[in-house]
C-alpha cells in the first residue's frame, strides 16, 4: 500500500480500478531531410491533416450529448488553434528554411510555443501549453496515420490516471464511466480542473509520479477532499474507506437536506452562502446545494476558451443564461481578470517580465476601454433578467475605482442611446486583493456598494509568494497572521462604511476556516457549490459569540502554525 499526495480539486471518495491513459505513447516521430521541390507536397499533407483534425473535433463536439454549448466552445478554441493563420505561417517558414519533413516541423513549432508558455510566471499560461499539445498531437496523429484511443468508448467504470489530460479528452470522455481523475500535472486554473469541478468528478492533480507508480488494473482509493490517492490498499484500509464512501454519501445527502434553510448560527447571527462559477452551465445545478446566489462569476472564461475577445452578443447571452438560471437570486459578475501576457488574439500587449505585477485585471480593462465597455454593456443588457452586481478585480486605489465607474457610466449612456434597457439599480463592488486596497479601504468604501475579498491574490501579494511556484507555494498560508489582520481590517472598514463584506477566495469554502471567518464578521461566503452544504452545517452548529472569541485569539497569534493549532483544537 502506498499513499500519493496531490492537489485537491473536487471532493468525494471513489474506490475502483485504474486506467492508465498515456497520450504521450507515440511512436518516435520521424525526422529526415526533404528537397525544395517536396515542400509544397509536405504542406499539402499538413493542410489535409489540419482539415481531418478539425473535422474530428467538430464530430466530437456535435456527437457528445453530455456537454453544453458553453463547454463545447473549448472544442471551438482548438479548431481555431489548428486553423490559426499565424500557426500555419510558422509551419511554412520553418519548413522552407530547414527542409525537414512536416511531422517533425509540426512537433518542433508546437514544442517551441509550449515552452514559451511553460516558462511564464502566470500559472494560467503554463496550463495553456496543454491546449497546444492537444491540437498538435491530433494533427501529427493524422499525419502519421495513428488511430487515437477515445475515452468516449469506455465500457467499464474506471479511475482515469493521466500525465496531463487534454481538454478535448476531458470534454469527450464517457463521464458515466470515469468515476475519478488522477493526474501528474494540473492546477486549479487548468481547463481540466475547471471541467472536473463542473462535472462533480472527484479529482486529485499534481501527483508528479502518478503515471510511473500506477498501472492499469491497480486498485485505487481516490480521496478528492483530502487530495490523496491510495495505491493497492490493504484490506483494513479498503474496508475503512468502503464505510467512508457509504458515510460520505449518507452525510452529504443529509447536508443537501439543509436545502433552503438559512446559514444562521445557534445564537441567531445570519450570513449568506453563495457559489463561485467558471462556466455558465454550472448555474443550473446551484439550487440543489442551497446557494443563495452567485458571489463570483469568473467572466474571463468566456475569453480564455475562445482565445480571443468575446463579442458583446456572446457575452450577453452567457450572462443572461446564468441570470435566468438563478431564478431571481443575485449574480455577481467579476469583470475580466486577464493578464498582460494572456496572448489573446486582438488583445495582445507587450510581453511583461512579471505579469503578476503587471497589466492584468482592472489595469488590463482600463487600458482597453472599448473592450471594457463591450463587457459592461453586455452585463447591463442582461441585468433586466434578474438582479446583477458588478465587481472590479485588483483595485489598488480610489483612482482605478473611479475610472472604472466612469467607464461604466459611459456604457450606460451608450445603452440608452441604442434603446437598450438595463436595471435601474446595479450594485458595484470592489475586490480586495491587494494590501494597498485594505490600507485605503476607508476611501474605497465611499464609492462601493460592497467589498469582496479575494484571498488567493491577497495571500500572494501580502506574503510575496507566487502560488504557482512549487518551490515557494508552501509559504502561501491563508492563516498567516498578516493575512488574517488584513481580512479583519477590510471587513471592519466595510462595516464602518455601512456596506457588507464578502469573500470569494478559496478560504471561504474551507470548513476548517469557517468559524474563524464567522468570528471576523464576514457577511457573505462564496465558494465552489459542492462546499456549501458542509459550510452551512458548520455555521448552523456554531455560536457566533464564541466564534468572535476564536477570531480575536487567532488574529493575535504570532504564526500560522499557532493559528492552525488553534483551529485544530476548535474542530476537536
DSSP state of 308: B
In 3D, which of 188, 169, 219, 200 has the Cα closest to residue 18?
Answer: 219
Q: What is the CA radius of gyration of the chain?
A: 25
Pairing relation of β-strands 388-392 and 263-264?
Answer: unpaired
Q: Is the dihedral of CA 178, 180, 184, 187 positive or negative?
A: positive
Expressed in angstroms, the distance from the first to the final Cα of the chain is: 29
- The three three-digit cell numbers of residue 56, written as one number: 474530428
- Do the Cβ atoms of 204 and 228 come closer than 8 Å? yes
Give CA–CA dist 188/163, Å, rounded: 16
Sequence-ordered list of residues with C-beta below 8 angstroms from that of 33, at least 6 positions apart, any chain: 99, 100, 101
Catalytic residue among 78, 191, 480, 537: 191
Run of H or E residues at 128: helix 123-144
What does each C-alpha distance from 470 to 193, 306, 465, 511 come to in angstroms?
A: 18, 29, 10, 24
Cα gap 382→330, rounded to integer Å: 12
Q: In this structure, what are the phi and psi dihedrals at residue 351, rounded to the nearest 5 degrees?
A: -60, 135
Reported residue count of the chain is: 572
Q: What is the DSSP letter of 100?
A: B
Question: For this structure, is 547 an active site residue?
Answer: no
Starting from the edge strand earliest in sequence, which strands make up the sheet with 203-205, in order? 2-5, 228-231, 219-223, 13-21, 158-162, 178-183, 203-205, 7-10
CA dist list (Å): 303 to 314, 323, 411:
10, 19, 20
What span, in angstroms and rounded, lies between the C-alpha atoms of 35 and 38?
Answer: 5
Q: How far apart are CA 162 and CA 235, in angstroms?
A: 26
Distance CA 344, CA 308 (A): 5
CB 115 within 8 Å of CB 175: no
- CA 527, 508, 398, 465 torsion: positive or negative? negative
Burial 213-251 (b: 16+ CB within 10 A, else e): ebeeebebbbbbbebbbbbebeeeebeebeeebeebeee
Q: Which three cell numbers stand for residue 201?
A: 468528478
What's the rounded Cα separation, in Å, for the pair 431 and 458? Answer: 10
Which of the residues 142, 163, 480, 504 is marked catalytic?
504
The grid coordinates of residue 430 equal 470592489
163 catalytically annotated = no
Using CA atoms, how far apart are residues 30 and 102, in angstroms rounded to an integer?
9
Side-chain half-sphere of 259: how many Cα atoms within 13 Å? Answer: 2
Angle at CA of residue 130, ends 128 and 136, nearest 5°: 115
Which residues are tagged catalytic? 191, 504
Amino acid at each position: 500500500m502506498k499513499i500519493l499526495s496531490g492537489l485537491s480539486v473536487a471532493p468525494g471518495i471513489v474506490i475502483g480500478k485504474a486506467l492508465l491513459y498515456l497520450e504521450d505513447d507515440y511512436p518516435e516521430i520521424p525526422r529526415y531531410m526533404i528537397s525544395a521541390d517536396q515542400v509544397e507536397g509536405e504542406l499539402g499533407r499538413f493542410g489535409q491533416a489540419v482539415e481531418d483534425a478539425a473535422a474530428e473535433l467538430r464530430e466530437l463536439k456535435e456527437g457528445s450529448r453530455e456537454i453544453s454549448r458553453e463547454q463545447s466552445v473549448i472544442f471551438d478554441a482548438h479548431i481555431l488553434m489548428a486553423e490559426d493563420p499565424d500557426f500555419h505561417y510558422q509551419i511554412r517558414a520553418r519548413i522552407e528554411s530547414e527542409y525537414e519533413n512536416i511531422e517533425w516541423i509540426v512537433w518542433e513549432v508546437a514544442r517551441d510555443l509550449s515552452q514559451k508558455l511553460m516558462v511564464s510566471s502566470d500559472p494560467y499560461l503554463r496550463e495553456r501549453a496543454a491546449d497546444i499539445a492537444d491540437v498538435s498531437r491530433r494533427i501529427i496523429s493524422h499525419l502519421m496515420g495513428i488511430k487515437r484511443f477515445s475515452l468516449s468508448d469506455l465500457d467499464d467504470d474506471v479511475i482515469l490516471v493521466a500525465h496531463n489530460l487534454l481538454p478535448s479528452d476531458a470534454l469527450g470522455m464517457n463521464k458515466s464511466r470515469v468515476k475519478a481523475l488522477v493526474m501528474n500535472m494540473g492546477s486549479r486554473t487548468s481547463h481540466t480542473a475547471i471541467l472536473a469541478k463542473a462535472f462533480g468528478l472527484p479529482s486529485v492533480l499534481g501527483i508528479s509520479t502518478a503515471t510511473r507508480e500506477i498501472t492499469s488494473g491497480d486498485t485505487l482509493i481516490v480521496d478528492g477532499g483530502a487530495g490523496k490517492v491510495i495505491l493497492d490498499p490493504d484490506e483494513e484500509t479498503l474496508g475503512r474507506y468502503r464505510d467512508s464512501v457509504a458515510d460520505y454519501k449518507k452525510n452529504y445527502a443529509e447536508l443537501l437536506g439543509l436545502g433552503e434553510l438559512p446559514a444562521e448560527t445557534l445564537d441567531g447571527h445570519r450570513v449568506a452562502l453563495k457559489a463561485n462559477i467558471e462556466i455558465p452551465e454550472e448555474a443550473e445545478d446551484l439550487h440543489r446545494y442551497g446557494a443563495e446566489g452567485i458571489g463570483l462569476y469568473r467572466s474571463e472564461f468566456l475569453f480564455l476558451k475562445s482565445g480571443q475577445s468575446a463579442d458583446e452578443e456572446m457575452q450577453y447571452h452567457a450572462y443572461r443564461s446564468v441570470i435566468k438560471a438563478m431564478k431571481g437570486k443575485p449574480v455577481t459578475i467579476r469583470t475580466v481578470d486577464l493578464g498582460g501576457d494572456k496572448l489573446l488574439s486582438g488583445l495582445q500587449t507587450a510581453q511583461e517580465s512579471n505579469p503578476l505585477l503587471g497589466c492584468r485585471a482592472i489595469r488590463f480593462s482600463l487600458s482597453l476601454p472599448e473592450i471594457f465597455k463591450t463587457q459592461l454593456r453586455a452585463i447591463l443588457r442582461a441585468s433586466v433578467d434578474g438582479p446583477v452586481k458588478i465587481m472590479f478585480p485588483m483595485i489598488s486605489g480610489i483612482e482605478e475605482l473611479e475610472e472604472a465607474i466612469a467607464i461604466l457610466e459611459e456604457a450606460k449612456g451608450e445603452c440608452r442611446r441604442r434603446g437598450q434597457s438595463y436595471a435601474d439599480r446595479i450594485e458595484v463592488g470592489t475586490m480586495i486583493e491587494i494590501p494597498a486596497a485594505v490600507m485605503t479601504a476607508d476611501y474605497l468604501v465611499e464609492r462601493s456598494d460592497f467589498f469582496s475579498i479575494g484571498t488567493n491574490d491577497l495571500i500572494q501579494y501580502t506574503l510575496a509568494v507566487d502560488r504557482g511556484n512549487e518551490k515557494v507555494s508552501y509559504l502561501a498560508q491563508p492563516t498567516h497572521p498578516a493575512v488574517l489582520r488584513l481580512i479583519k481590517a477590510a471587513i471592519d472598514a466595510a462595516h464602518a462604511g455601512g456596506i457588507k463584506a464578502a469573500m470569494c477566495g478559496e478560504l471561504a469554502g474551507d470548513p476548517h476556516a469557517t468559524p474563524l471567518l464567522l468570528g471576523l464578521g464576514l457577511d457573505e461566503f462564496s465558494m465552489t457549490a459542492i462546499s456549501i452544504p458542509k459550510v452551512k452545517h458548520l455555521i448552523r452548529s456554531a455560536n457566533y459569540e464564541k466564534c468572535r472569541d476564536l477570531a480575536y485569539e487567532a488574529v493575535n497569534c504570532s504564526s500560522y502554525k499557532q493559528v492552525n493549532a488553534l483551529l485544530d483544537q476548535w474542530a476537536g
